[in-house]
A and B are shown apart, each in its own frame.
With several copies, the nearest count.
Chain A
């Protein structure tokens, strides 16, 4: 189910039984982050093994959004799965670099690469 919250849209997509993609569109900030947290938790609860978060259409990502993604990485790892980030725009790659989070996140340029 697609969920919209004014400035953030999160659309889950199944690739196979164990693999899901969340396509994000818009701004992830202190207002919209609870929506992203819920969507990630839903996938964790569903027992998904590989969760890809597609950032291609994310226009804004703040520390709240980063915190949710870090939390998602931990939750997935706890249940033996992985959370991978796909196709971050240059601005967001820059944020990963300057915060050092590029060492915590698995980032892939394309969905195919993230699935390899």
Chain B
């Protein structure tokens, strides 16, 4: 099974149905490569910027999404020649913003993951810690067809 198929299969209904029961959905697909994380951050600014979050909250969301993308890109770096993508799905509701960051990078076993240098590992750990702190809910799942999905939730009510 190619990575492409996995990404398509795992894709939520975002592209076909941009508004579902009063929930607006914005989806963005980027190549799983360093130069596109900035594009994702700008799009997230466009989404979160309209929801009444504070400046700091918006920056927290941008950084958390950036970390999830970076994690996917670093995992993709271990698979030579991989043509992977990242799909970002934003669910906009009055009380919360839910962002799913999904990649089709084949999941490594523990050994392969452990092969990275010490510096890289601490970076990945840091990214996970940042996500946990910056948003209200984080769930990371390995997808059946290969790939990973990070689900981030930020509530507008923190907005105190």
Contacts and interface: CB of A to CB of B under 8 A. Distances in A.
Interface of A: 6-7, 27, 29-31, 60, 62-64, 66-67, 70-71, 91, 94-95, 98-99
Interface in B56-81: 56, 59, 62-63, 66-67, 69-70, 73-74
A74 to B, nearest CB: 8
Contacts, number: 61
A67 B129 contact: no
A27 B50 CA distance: 13
A29 B59 contact: no
B124 A29 contact: no
Interface of B: 34-35, 37-38, 41, 49-50, 56, 59, 62-63, 66-67, 69-70, 73-74, 119-120, 122-124, 126-127, 129-130, 133-134
Contact of A70 (B74, B122, B133): B122
B70 A64 contact: yes
Contact of B35 (A31, A60, A94): A31
Contacts of B70: 29-30, 62-64
Contacts of A31: 34-35, 37-38
A30 to B, nearest CB: 4
A95 B38 CA distance: 19
Nearest to A6: B50
A29 B66 CA distance: 8
A66 B56 contact: no
Most-contacted residue by chain B among A29, A70, A99 (CB, 10 A): A29
A21 B13 CA distance: 48
Given A30-B70, A62-B70, A67 B37 contact: no
Nearest to A62: B66
A109 to B, nearest CB: 20
Contacts of A70: 119, 122
